[in-house]
Amino acid sequence: MHRDAVMMAGRSEDDGDTSILTATKPKTKRPPLYKVLLLNDDFTPMEFVVHVLERFFGLNHAQAFEIMLTVHKKGVAVVGVFSHEIAETKVAQVMDFARRHQHPLQCTMEKED
């Protein structure tokens, strides 16, 4: 005879539980990422924007010039993707640096989908 049938016949272990077992996957949620955006304006000098991108985003001159031109032509560009804390720091650094040099350059952050 099958062992389960033997066990049930003797009622040695079946406690009559009819509950549904719901398996739960252990969720390791990674923190959300944030895009840092640079906005175009008519007054901030191109060289200043290139300098900002080199200084605060670790881009080389060619990469910085390319992104500056994208912002100049399209109005906005993503300059990097970071954790919330790092993105906030980058935005604050750019905004403070622009303000100190009296340029209207705007930098913002936006949660990634």
Interaction site with ligand TYC (CB under 6 A): 38-42, 44-46, 49, 68, 71-72, 105
Q: Shortest distance, CB of residue 70 to ligand TYC, whole angstroms?
A: 8
- Judged by CB, which is closer to ligand TYC: 68, or 87? 68
Q: Shortest distance, CB of residue 63 to ligand TYC, whole angstroms?
A: 14
- Judged by CB, which is closer to ligand TYC: 105, or 109? 105
Q: Which residues pair with 92 in a beta bridge?
A: none
> What distance in Å separates the CA atoms of residue 24 and residue 27, rounded to the nearest whole number?
9
> What distance in Å separates the CA atoms of residue 72 and residue 49, rounded to the nearest whole number?
10
> What distance in Å separates the CA atoms of residue 109 and residue 34, rounded to the nearest whole number?
6
